[in-house]
Amino acid sequence: MTDPGTAVTATRARLPRPSADLVTPASALFLDADGTLLAFADDPDGVVVPDGMLDTLDAIHDVLGGALALVSGRAIASLDGIFGRPGWAAAGQHGLERRDAEGRTTTVPVDAGELARLRTMVHGVADRLPGVRVEDKSWSVALHCREHPEHSPELERIAPAIAARFDGFELQPGSYVYEFKPRGMDKGVAVAAFLDNEPFMGRHPVYLGDDLTDEHAFAMVNERGGASVRVGARTPSSAVFTLSSPADVHAWLDSVKTALTQGAAGRQ
């Protein structure tokens, strides 16, 4: 597992924008969901897939021979409900569950007793802080305060203390979210597992993400000689390229699709 403390190494205020040819037919493309492909919503269930995005991603997926994967803090079932693409490779819950390009799913074992005690404690916190939401992801649990950011300082204070009481879980902070997940798994580990198997093996990895949770993947992809793309202005980051917003991601992916499909037509 890559340590995010060492992964976030520098503030790069003026990262370059990636060109469309960053993704080639020999690439493997890994995409975070919320904040990257999808604009944030106060309610995680309220996100909307922009018009045309699925057609764009389908075209890229086909040219890459299936070497496209969603990598998210959401559960895979949630990703399937949003994108409607159960045939795509995906990593959910920061890699706690992973579906390969053949549809085979693996999950990390979790101590059910610890998880039950953790859930009880997390719900107790939410009951004391009106407007804070609990998201139960089956193998992890998170507190969301995007609708009530005034609770963020309190959650920053108490979340580490909660995590310290559980040997098998660790705190993964994000954008107005405090997630408690089993130790030893992160998005970098998930992407590395994809790259060890077809159709991702031997390809040039490109990863897009917006949050602290994506820094593990940025560091891993950089170590593999790939390209990391941060979405938004959050700093510091170990990413080497930047796009400004999910809308900017959509525009860039459209240009990637055009370059890939025109190149494929030219090779026929």
Tokens of 79: 């990703």
Between the two ends of the chain, the Cα-to-Cα distance in Å is: 42
How far apart are alpha carbons 125 and 103 in whole angstroms?
Answer: 37
Region label for 176, one of left (φ > 0), alpha (ψ between -120 and 50) or beta (otherwise): left
Looking at 3, 21, 32, 248, which residue is catalytic? Answer: 32
- Whether 3 is a known active-site residue: answer no
Q: Hey, which residues does 204 pair with through a beta bridge?
A: 27
Q: How big is the chain, counted in residues?
A: 268
Burial state string for 187-220 with b = 16 or more CB within 10 A and e = fewer than 16: bbbbbbbbbeeebbeebbbbbbbbbbbbbbbbbb
What would the DSSP string read from start to end of 155-188?
HHHHHHHHHTT-TTEEEEEETTEEEEEETT--HH
Please report which residue ranges of the chain form alpha helices under DSSP H. 4-7, 53-63, 76-83, 112-128, 152-163, 187-195, 215-223, 246-267
Tokens of 263: 């190149």
How far apart are alpha carbons 156 and 173 in whole angstroms?
Answer: 9
Q: Which residues are catalytic?
A: 32
